C-alpha cells in the first residue's frame, strides 16, 4: 500500500504536467507593440465608453458618428485574441477608467485552434481582471460573430456564445448582448450583405445592424453610469 500511493501521486503529477504541456499555444502579445505604443502616446480619455477587442472593433471607423452624444473611444487592435486583451489591459482599458467597457473577442481565438474551453477561459479571465481592477465598470459583452470565411467555426462559435451567456447571467456588472443572430438567415447561414469582400469582416450594413442593437443598450447603461 505504501508503494502504491507514491506511484499514484507520481502518475497524477505526470498527467497534470502532460495536460499543461498540451495546452494550445497563444499568439505572442508582443506582436502588437507598435499598436499599443501608439495608444499610450495619446492622452488618456477617461470616464467614458471604451470599445476594445479584435478587428471587428478596430475596423469600426464610424464609431463616434454611430453613437452621437456618447463618449465612445476605440481601442481595438486587429487580429487580437482574449489573451492579448489581458496582456495589454493597462494600455487599452485601465488607463481610461471607463464607466462602460464594450468587448468583442473570440473568433480569432478559435481560428488560432484554441478549444472552446480555452477560448472561454481566456476571455473570462480578461473580464474578471476588468472587474477586479475596475469594479464600478459595466461590461457590455458582445457575442462572438459568425462569418462566411470561417463557416466551419460556426458550431464552435455557438457553443462559445452559450457558455459566455451562461457565465454572464448572474453577474450584475456584465451585460451579454446577442450581436450574432442578426448575421444569420433562417437556415443559420451568414447573410452575404453583412460582410465585405473578404467574407470575414463586417460591411457598412453589418455595422449598421450592430449599431441598432447596441445603441439603446449603451444609452441605457450610460444613463445609469452617470447617476
Cell matching residue 95: 488607463
Its pTM stands at 0.90
- The pLDDT mean for the chain works out to 92
In a domain, 17, yes or no: no
In a domain, 144, yes or no: yes
Q: How many domains does the chain have?
A: 1
* Alpha carbons 142 and 183: distance in angstroms, whole number: 13
* Alpha carbons 138 and 97: distance in angstroms, whole number: 11
Task: Indicate which CATH number applies to the domain containing 153.
Answer: 3.40.50.1110
In a domain, 10, yes or no: no
* Alpha carbons 87 and 215: distance in angstroms, whole number: 29
pLDDT digits 0-9 by tens, 77-109: 999 999 999 999 999 999 999 999 999 999 999
CB 145 within 8 A of CB 157: yes
Q: What's the mean pLDDT in 200-205?
A: 98
Specify the pLDDT at position 227: 84
Q: What percent of the chain has pLDDT over 70?
A: 91
In a domain, 113, yes or no: yes
Amino acid at each position: 500500500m505504501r508503494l502504491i500511493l507514491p506511484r499514484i501521486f507520481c502518475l497524477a503529477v505526470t498527467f497534470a504536467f502532460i495536460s499543461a504541456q498540451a495546452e494550445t499555444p497563444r499568439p505572442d502579445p508582443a506582436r502588437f507593440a507598435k499598436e499599443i505604443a501608439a495608444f499610450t502616446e495619446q492622452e488618456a480619455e477617461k470616464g467614458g465608453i471604451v470599445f476594445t477587442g479584435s478587428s471587428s472593433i478596430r475596423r469600426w471607423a464610424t464609431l463616434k458618428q454611430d453613437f452621437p452624444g456618447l463618449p465612445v473611444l476605440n481601442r481595438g487592435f486587429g487580429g487580437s485574441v482574449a489573451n492579448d486583451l489581458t496582456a495589454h489591459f493597462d494600455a487599452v482599458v485601465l488607463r481610461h477608467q471607463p464607466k462602460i467597457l464594450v468587448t468583442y473577442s473570440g473568433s480569432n481565438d478559435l481560428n488560432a485552434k484554441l478549444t472552446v474551453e480555452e477560448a472561454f477561459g481566456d476571455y473570462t479571465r480578461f473580464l474578471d481582471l476588468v472587474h477586479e481592477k475596475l469594479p464600478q465598470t459595466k461590461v457590455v459583452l458582445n457575442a462572438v460573430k459568425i462569418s462566411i470565411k470561417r463557416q466551419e467555426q460556426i458550431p464552435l462559435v455557438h457553443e462559445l456564445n452559450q457558455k459566455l451567456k451562461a457565465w454572464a447571467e448572474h453577474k450584475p456588472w456584465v451585460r451579454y448582448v446577442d450581436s450574432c443572430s442578426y448575421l444569420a438567415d433562417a437556415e443559420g447561414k451568414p447573410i452575404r450583405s453583412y460582410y465585405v469582400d473578404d467574407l470575414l469582416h463586417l460591411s457598412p450594413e453589418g455595422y449598421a445592424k450592430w449599431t441598432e442593437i447596441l445603441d439603446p443598450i449603451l444609452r441605457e447603461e450610460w444613463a445609469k453610469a452617470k447617476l
